[in-house]
Structure 1
Amino acid sequence: MFVSTPAVRTATTLVSVTLAALLLAACGQDDDPSVAAPSTAPTSAAPSTATPTAPTSTASGTPSASASTAAVDRQITVTIAKKRVDPPTGRITVSKGQLVRITVTSDVADELHVHGYDLGARLPAGTPGSVEFRADKTGLFEVETHESELVLFQLVVR
């Protein structure tokens, strides 16, 4: 027989509230505070190590500089057209501590997401979106789009 006491009710309520909070904290599509529209200025919603920036026309893999940010160590540029990723999905290796900028242009509106760093940017159709961050965590991290669920590449930080 189960006896309900104030202590049991309090413990049950606490467990329920904790579970609800954990479920709400899961990766969301539209409620991710690190997702920002492409801009030339840092946004307060992104962590201090991640700054969405205006796109540049720098070719993939070459260092670049822009007037509003420090020179990046690694520029990665991806284009999506008709659900095809260019360059094709693969692994891109960077060194720990490098400043990385990922710029993506999609032919449909979508959302860029860098797993492990929990960074993102909105991708309006035909307009480049970028994230810039210091690669301070080692490991293998997927870079994908949320709406079309395309894996763009796997980022290896060593």
Structure 2
Amino acid sequence: MLVRTPAARTSVVLTAALLTAVLATGCGQDDDPSVATPSAAPTSAAPPSAATTAAVSPTPAATTSTPAVDREITVKIAKRRIDPPTGRVTVGKGELVRITVTSDVSDELHVHGYDLGARLPAGAPGSVEFRADKTGLFEVETHETELVLFQLVVR
């Protein structure tokens, strides 16, 4: 395409710059929690009993080596289906959160904004554990299959 007028050239250059900026803002860039809008209707990815079970340790050795988490979030992926289905999970600022994902294919777990990741070997769980010290809305996804598992809301 040949652009002859200066106004048309400027329009093409601005469009190309905008497209480049949109394509560059992907998984490799941290989310900015200051512009995120938390959900008004929180949902839970794990039943309350799972968080209670995770906090109770059957052996004293596990209690001393692994601190009890405030929130355990468990996700399973099979044939590109996410269980529980994609939604929002709300946690309180300062809570210790553990996200455990089991996938039927090898992949990588990524928590945006916290820039955390874990390998997901096929059929074996992978976990990340962190203190939710940033408020906002953060996507939790897989890299290879590009599945959004849920949105983490920290209030």
Structure 1, unaligned stretches of length 5 or more? 1-22, 29-58
Aligned to 1:148: 145
- Structure holding more helix per residue: 2
Structure 2, unaligned stretches of length 5 or more? 1-23, 30-45
Change beyond 3 A, Cα 1:104–1:60: farther
Percent identity of equivalent pairs: 81
Aligned to 2:84: 87
RMSD of Structure 2 on Structure 1 (CA):
1.9
- CA contact 1:103–1:130 (8 Å) conserved in 2: yes
Superposition deviation, residue 69 in structure 1: 1.0
Runs of 4+ aligned structure 1 residues displaced above 3 Å come to: none
Aligned to 1:27: 28
1:81-136 deviation digits (Å, cap 9, x = unpaired): 00000000000000000000000000000000000000000000000000000000
Instruction: State the SS of the aligned residue for 1:70.
Output: coil
Q: TM-score, normalised by structure 1?
A: 0.62
Aligned to 2:126: 129
- CA contact 1:90–1:154 (8 Å) conserved in 2: yes
For 2:66, give the aligned amino acid.
T
- CA contact 1:60–1:75 (8 Å) conserved in 2: no
1:67-82 equivalence runs, <5 A = 67=62, 68-82=65-79
For 1:81, give the aligned amino acid.
A
2:101 is the counterpart of 1:104? yes
